[in-house]
Amino acid sequence: MAELQTHSAHAVPMNLLEAVNRALARAMAEDDSVVLLGEDIGTNGGVFRATEGLKQQFGFRRVMDTPLAENLIAGLAVGMASQGLKPVAEIQFMGFIYAALEQILSHAARLRNRTRGRLSCPLVIRAPYGGGIHAPEHHSESTEALFAHIPGLRVVMPSSPARAHGLLLAAIQCPDPVIFLEPKRLYRLKRLPVVADGDPLPLDTCFTLRTGDDLTLISWGAAIHETLGAADQLAAEGINAEVIDVACLNPLDRDTLVASVSRTGRAVIVHEAPGHGGMGAEIAATLANQALLHLRAPVERVTGYDCPMPYFQLEPHYLPDEERIVAAAKRTLAY
Amino acid sequence: MAELQTHSAHAVPMNLLEAVNRALARAMAEDDSVVLLGEDIGTNGGVFRATEGLKQQFGFRRVMDTPLAENLIAGLAVGMASQGLKPVAEIQFMGFIYAALEQILSHAARLRNRTRGRLSCPLVIRAPYGGGIHAPEHHSESTEALFAHIPGLRVVMPSSPARAHGLLLAAIQCPDPVIFLEPKRLYRLKRLPVVADGDPLPLDTCFTLRTGDDLTLISWGAAIHETLGAADQLAAEGINAEVIDVACLNPLDRDTLVASVSRTGRAVIVHEAPGHGGMGAEIAATLANQALLHLRAPVERVTGYDCPMPYFQLEPHYLPDEERIVAAAKRTLAY
Amino acid sequence: MRTDHDDRRVAGYKTMALIRHFDKKAVNLQRTGRLGTYASCLGAEAIGTAAGLALTRDDYFVPYYRDHATLYLRGVPLHQILQYWGGDERGNAFPADSAARRDLPYCVPIATQLTQAAGIASAAKLRHEHAAVLATCGDGATSRGDFYEALNVAGVWQLPLVVLINNNQWAISVPRGLQTACASLADKAMAAGIPGVQVDGNDLDALIEVLDHALERARAGKGATLIEAISYRLSDHTTADDASRYRKASDLHRAWQNEPVRRLRDTLAEAGLWDAQRETDWQQQCERTVEEAIDTYLNLPPAPATDMLDYLYAELPAALRDQRSALAAVDQEVRHG
Amino acid sequence: MRTDHDDRRVAGYKTMALIRHFDKKAVNLQRTGRLGTYASCLGAEAIGTAAGLALTRDDYFVPYYRDHATLYLRGVPLHQILQYWGGDERGNAFPADSAARRDLPYCVPIATQLTQAAGIASAAKLRHEHAAVLATCGDGATSRGDFYEALNVAGVWQLPLVVLINNNQWAISVPRGLQTACASLADKAMAAGIPGVQVDGNDLDALIEVLDHALERARAGKGATLIEAISYRLSDHTTADDASRYRKASDLHRAWQNEPVRRLRDTLAEAGLWDAQRETDWQQQCERTVEEAIDTYLNLPPAPATDMLDYLYAELPAALRDQRSALAAVDQEVRHG
Ligand SMILES: Cc1ncc(C[n+]2csc(CCOP(=O)(O)OP(=O)(O)O)c2C)c(N)n1
Ligand SMILES: Cc1ncc(C[n+]2csc(CCOP(=O)(O)OP(=O)(O)O)c2C)c(N)n1
Ligand SMILES: [Mg+2]
Ligand SMILES: [Mg+2]
């Protein structure tokens, strides 16, 4: 699905963080069953201020500061969702989500299936993810692949204020459990127009951000930023890259990806997470399987190294940057 | 690396479970710092009897029945390993390992790196994995992909008594943290010769179980069984399949895989876990990248469906069987 | 004069006797290959029954895997309980008109149901329902952090939650004394700032009293309670276990002296509420009821393979269409092949 | 007559004053972009110092992220503490000849260090060491299941473990009263069947006494203790936080009245163990020491990019060779470009 920048009469400039905040406020205003829970989300408005003002607006009953326990947060959310509430839980940083994995994998993702539709689990778990803000250890993780491999879950990663807004609205309305990973590096990057009363965006399609015929650059979340930058650099040299924001890693819109690469014949996939077993592998494998005869070069992956995100001194060397993306694109073109 | 069935003077017939038990006993006898911990591993000898007799032989101080808490088991093991013990923890079923993920991902896999080599974490976490024994819910999981994506960890999955024995010895001796996943479906399948005083096997190479020129079948763990069966069926029709047991999913021996498929030009990857984001994707992506010009057909994946392993009535429809593997192989050959 | 209370006790006894019979038959079904691994409730009949009697239709029940009696009293037919243990998720689709309609299904990963129960309790509180949530677990479960996290939030949020521990002295092969050094499991409530009560888990009357009190307290907005019911697991852990490997026959023998079913029967008989004739009649009734349930169970149509995808998401995602077609083809084959 | 005990108190005061100065400078370094997010220990100087004084070289220390004083006393140079907070893992490579040689590094994921500490304690017990393990955490950490799981196993295995809670009343913006309804955090020890003690976290003498006792008890094989030290976080949570958003200036002001450094100075002065001259001299010494540490820190050579792979496994796996070469090329470029 192609979505080029929407400009509308109702559009208001927002950064990604404000877009998240506005989507939460709107969802809560429109639906009483939407409740928020997490650490420091009340009076403090969240450590990034994503929930700023919401406790004041909707009261402490709907904006719950929990005790400090991520497994608890997830379990509470599962319980609430099983009875028709729509909990939106915040995990303060993605690096602290692992204690919640058992609840997510064994229960949230399975409750509907396990009860053959009698109960469901319409929760959203939001977490800021990714590096690039010189944060402490464990504050810069990109482990989306762990969640994308869990059947029954939806994994959504916006990369612009408009997509953060529209996808978060959709995630909250969605009757399935959703992991919503917010690129904290882009939180305050720039204000872009968002249609605050616009429709939710679909949860199972890629977004084509830029069209081109020479190769396809595929990415999601924060790395979209460098990917678009690389596309600009390539354009300056007369190379037209198509740029696709995958946005939803499970279920995955394979059709858009395969169609694009079948046309361009070349693909570079960019993500921040370690390459080994990352979601770039799934996409590369899919392209190589479904577009094999169209491929004019091997599908390349530009990713984090196969080590934990280093503490911030070495972080710049870890993150895929425009240079690495451009180099991979050129290798692909020269093949 | 090629390892065809070893027959030696010292070989003793064992099933996979006995091979695990013997490797544990030998490691404990040879090294005082090896200790076992887990639920029901003491007097009961483990619910599958993998630790049968070890408490009697080595005492309750070295064979510790823990309170019922997987997060605790992993944390204890990390603490012990940080001070030079070599804990071998049992998680009773892989479906109960998720509570331990935070300790594994955030600590075990990172301790050496975090302290720049001052401390290390030579632990082994064993867990029976996979379906096919008509077990209760959560008792049939294959979530190796979650662990294979964690840098700093080693993920090992044996598929025969000899490999279980040799790889477990190696895992215990290894100075890195190892997740050791035992195919419970093969535990008692058949007794095969194991050299009880043989050397540990290497932890970073594939095992070529059968050579062939027509295509390469790639698998690991329990699915090796059906994969070998499929190779037999194909052989009956005059098709010679090479069969590679990946065995170690991280670090991954890409060279052996690429070399084989570069020669045969065709590959089918088989695993029990859901396909989406599974380790088949990493291998398919690697092959398509590094062997692109040699590929005569798209790399196929035969996997579980993208849903949780169903409770046992539907399990037979979920698990990849010989028929599906043979069909994929033939599609590949007919391409 | 026969009171309401007496009626409840007699009803309780009938359920306990029925479930005991059901349990025996379920183990037999497993032994003859017609059921999967099954968790017996032998020795836990009073606990499960008391829970079922104390709960109202407005309350919520969050079971663990030995709560067959409670689910039965919540309106789940026995054949559906067998269907679950027979490896079929449809067993968890509790009847829409039953008290169990919103209850959580059996929970396999130990203690994970407890934080969920706290979540249900906070939903009930948010909606100002006059309802309590009862969650159960075993003694082994009290070692998992979830147990503590759930009690802790229930304390600080004053949730309408009652956690009932079936302390049957064993977690598979691990005895209670190796789980914790805490003098009594009820004392663990202290850590959460809520009341903790110990009760004889073989005494239906005592159980009902304690549960009534705790549930009413919860419904009235006065907060959570932890209950430790002391019992003994008279069966193997499950049909996959052999308890003789790790516990003494003499201990088991001693525990049988205090088993809940006969004990209640004797009490009722002494009070003139039960007699040999009623016992014979009821045992016959139990046999008929359980036979019927088994019959229904064994004749249930198999689930289509497509079920494994059809309930995963609210709507089948486009990404799964091909996989569903493959499974539909399997179903075709099964039907016609 | 001046006693050993007096010497220890004076040494304690000196450390507390030094760390207070260090802390102020570290916050400044962060504000001027020369340090990463930093967790201040303002108000926790007595706790950290008492821990450092009570531990022996044979003991093990398992810190959380505010334990700068303790690490310093364990022999970690101040510049290395800065190096860690400056975003460099080499800060965790504590000197091989120091008491900290085997200590765990700062732990960021709340409470996860506690089960590890229990593991270390069981290793020490297995080896019959005369050693205790001291692990620290905050009040917020007591809500995580790990806290409870660690205490529980320490109780049932009689481990030589002491868990010291720095109850500074806040977990970022969440006050102690929203973490738990338990009357005192020390009471949580009950759930594990171990003793729990409350102590004034602003009183070095009291802290040392309680710690000495608990650690000696642990070393003697008598089991674990939970200690709740009551303090107040006088700083923002970290340099990334603004506490004025969620707490009253008046509360903070009140807490300052009881702050540990001045309080100990006054006590020592009254006892004739300290005076204005010594204070001036020592403050000057603190400034010099901290300046030197900052200097050393700022002049540390940057780590090569290859470090991110070189310590991940004991030996570089073949699978990572290409990635290492790519990083080595980056290092080349940095050096020559
Ligand atoms: C998280 C988890 N770990 C391990 C298991 C395997 N297991 C099933 S029942 C059980 C013992 C539970 O003991 P207890 O809580 O006392 O309940 P009981 O079975 O005695 O009623 C164990 C270890 C599990 N189901 N879930
Ligand atoms: C598992 C986990 N969840 C969340 C965080 C983010 N976080 C860092 S400190 C903190 C509060 C900790 O409070 P407390 O335990 O009282 O220690 P204090 O900082 O007050 O000393 C939080 C929520 C974290 N580091 N780890
Ligand atoms: Mg039990
Ligand atoms: Mg605190």
Positions of chain D with pLDDT lower than 50, given as ranges: none
The answer on C239 and C216 residing in a single domain is yes
Contacts of A102 in chain D (CB under 8 A): none
Q: Is residue B4 part of a domain?
A: no
Query: What does the pLDDT average to over C171-184?
Result: 97
The answer on C54 and C9 residing in a single domain is yes
Residues with Cβ within 8 Å of residue A303, at least 6 apart in sequence: A269, A270, A271, A272, A273, A274, A275, A278, A280, A320
Positions of chain B with pLDDT lower than 70, given as ranges: 1-9
Q: Ligand 2 centroid to A281 CA: how many Å?
A: 34
Q: Ligand 3 centroid to C141 CA: how many Å?
A: 8
The answer on D318 and D280 residing in a single domain is no
CATH number at B320 reads 3.40.50.920
Domain end position, chosen among B195, B221, B251: B195
Residues with Cβ within 8 Å of residue B286, at least 6 apart in sequence: A281, B252, B254, B257, B258
The answer on C319 and C283 residing in a single domain is no
Contacts of C89 in chain B (CB under 8 A): 310-311
Structure tokens at B58: 């080595």
The ligand whose atoms approach the alpha carbon of D172 most closely is 2
**């019927």: which residue's tokens?**
C292
Q: Tell me the one-letter amino acid at D18.
A: L
The answer on D274 and D127 residing in a single domain is yes
The answer on C60 and C170 residing in a single domain is yes
Q: Does C89 touch chain A (CB under 8 A)?
A: yes
Q: Does D181 touch chain C (CB under 8 A)?
A: yes
Examine the pLDDT at A196 and tell me if it is beyond 80.
Answer: yes
DSSP A51: T
Examine the pLDDT at A6 and tell me if it is beyond 60.
Answer: no
Total H helices, total E strands in chain B:
12, 14
The answer on A233 and A300 residing in a single domain is yes
Asked if residue B260 lies in contact with residue B242, where contact means CB atoms within 8 angstroms, the answer is: yes
Contacts of C320 in chain A (CB under 8 A): 251
pTM: 0.98
DSSP A11: E
Binary contact (B285, A290; C-beta < 8 A): no
Work out the mean pLDDT of chain D and round it to a whole number.
Answer: 97
Q: Does D58 touch chain B (CB under 8 A)?
A: no
The full DSSP string for B111-170 is: HHHHTTTSS----EEEEEE-S-S-PPTTSS---HHHHHTSTT-EEE---SHHHHHHHHHH
Q: Which of residues 141-180 of B touch A (CB under 8 A)?
A: 143, 145-146, 148-149, 151-152
Binary contact (B138, A106; C-beta < 8 A): yes
CB within 5 A of ion ligand 4: which residues?
D 138-139, 168, 170-171
* A73-117 pLDDT, tens digit each: 999 999 999 999 999 999 999 999 999 999 999 999 999 999 999
Q: Is residue A2 part of a domain?
A: no
Q: Tell me whether residue D321 is one of the annotated catalytic residues.
A: no
Other CB atoms within a 10 A radius of the CB of residue A192 amount to: 17
The distance from CA B21 to its chain's CA centroid, rounded to whole angstroms, is: 16
Query: What does the pLDDT average to over A203-213?
Result: 97
Binary contact (A281, B284; C-beta < 8 A): yes
Domain housing D298: 4-303
Q: What's the pLDDT at C4?
A: 86
Structure tokens at C79: 């054949």
Check pocket membership of D52 for ligand 2, CB cut-off 6 A.
Answer: no
The answer on A255 and A232 residing in a single domain is yes
* B69-95 pLDDT, tens digit each: 999 999 999 999 999 999 999 999 999
Binary contact (B75, D115; C-beta < 8 A): yes
| Angstrom distances, CA of residue D244 to CA of A49, A52, D182, D233 | 14, 15, 27, 13
* C18-48 pLDDT, tens digit each: 999 999 999 999 999 999 999 999 999 999 9
Q: Does D104 touch chain A (CB under 8 A)?
A: no
Omega prior to A251 cis, within 30 of 0: yes
Q: Does C145 touch chain D (CB under 8 A)?
A: yes
Residue to test with chain A: of D107, D112, D169, D173, most A Cβ within 10 A? D173
Q: Is residue B321 part of a domain?
A: yes
| Residues of B involved in catalysis | 139
Q: What's the pLDDT at B45?
A: 98
Chain B neighbors (3+ CB pairs < 8 Å) = A, C, D
The answer on A117 and A40 residing in a single domain is yes
Chain D residue with CA closest to A65: the answer is: D174
Q: What's the pLDDT at D272?
A: 96
Query: What does the pLDDT average to over C231-245?
Result: 97
Q: Does C120 touch chain A (CB under 8 A)?
A: yes
Binary contact (A79, C146; C-beta < 8 A): no
Element (H, E) at A241: strand A241-245
Contacts of C141 in chain B (CB under 8 A): 68
Domain housing B219: 207-334
Asked if residue C122 lies in contact with residue A76, where contact means CB atoms within 8 angstroms, the answer is: yes
Asked if residue A183 lies in contact with residue A130, where contact means CB atoms within 8 angstroms, the answer is: yes
Residue to test with chain C: of A37, A39, A116, A290, most C Cβ within 10 A? A116
The answer on C327 and C244 residing in a single domain is no
Q: What's the pLDDT at B2?
A: 39
| Residues of A involved in catalysis | 139
Structure tokens at B299: 């790399």
Residues with Cβ within 8 Å of residue A318, at least 6 apart in sequence: A131, A304, A305, A307, A309, A310, D308
Q: What's the pLDDT at B9?
A: 60
Question: Helix, strand or coil for residue A21?
Answer: helix
Query: Can you state the angle between helices B70-82 and D112-126, rounded to 10 degrees?
Result: 60
- Length of chain B in residues, anyone? 335
| Angstrom distances, CA of residue D327 to CA of C74, D89, D93, D305, D310 | 63, 17, 22, 6, 11
The answer on A215 and A173 residing in a single domain is no
| Angstrom distances, CA of residue D11 to CA of A104, B177, D6, D285 | 50, 41, 9, 14
The answer on B158 and B214 residing in a single domain is no
The answer on A261 and A129 residing in a single domain is no
Domain end position, chosen among A195, A222, A251: A195
**């990057």: which residue's tokens?**
A189
Domain end position, chosen among A154, A174, A195: A195
Asked if residue A108 lies in contact with residue A177, where contact means CB atoms within 8 angstroms, the answer is: yes
The answer on B166 and B60 residing in a single domain is yes
The answer on A77 and A21 residing in a single domain is yes
Contacts of B113 in chain D (CB under 8 A): 89, 308, 311-312
The answer on A329 and A180 residing in a single domain is no
CA gap B18, B162 in Å, rounded: 10
Contacts of A276 in chain D (CB under 8 A): 319
The answer on A234 and A134 residing in a single domain is no
Q: What's the pLDDT at A38?
A: 98
Asked if residue D226 lies in contact with residue D188, where contact means CB atoms within 8 angstroms, the answer is: yes
Residues contacting ligand 1 via CB (< 6 Å): B 39, 68, 70, 92, 96; C 66, 108-110, 137-141, 166, 168, 170-172, 233, 237
The answer on C147 and C31 residing in a single domain is yes
The ligand whose atoms approach the alpha carbon of C111 most closely is 1
Q: Does C243 touch chain D (CB under 8 A)?
A: no
Identify which of C102, C123, C153 has the shortest CB distance to residue A66: C153
CATH number at B163 reads 3.40.50.970
Closest Cα in chain B, distance from residue D314 (Å): 6
Q: Which of residues 259-318 of D touch B (CB under 8 A)?
A: 307-308, 311-314, 317-318
What are the phi and psi torsion angles at D96 (to 5°)? -65, -20
Number of domains in chain B: 2
The answer on D220 and D156 residing in a single domain is yes
Query: What does the pLDDT average to over C278-282?
Result: 98
Binary contact (B82, D120; C-beta < 8 A): yes
Structure tokens at B283: 């291998």
The answer on A307 and A258 residing in a single domain is yes
DSSP C98: S
Residue to test with chain A: of D38, D310, D323, D325, most A Cβ within 10 A? D323
Share in percent of chain B as helix, strand, coil (round to 5):
40, 20, 40
Instruction: From D14, D38, D36, select the one nearest D24 (Cα to Cα).
Output: D38
Q: Is residue B3 part of a domain?
A: no
Other CB atoms within a 10 A radius of the CB of residue B334 amount to: 7
CA gap C270, C259 in Å, rounded: 17
Number of domains in chain C: 2
Give this complex's ipTM: 0.98
Closest Cα in chain A, distance from residue B137 (Å): 9
What is the pLDDT confidence band of residue A8, given thresholds at 50, 70 and 90? low
The answer on A177 and A74 residing in a single domain is yes
CA gap B284, B278 in Å, rounded: 10
The answer on D334 and D205 residing in a single domain is no
Q: Is residue A51 part of a domain?
A: yes
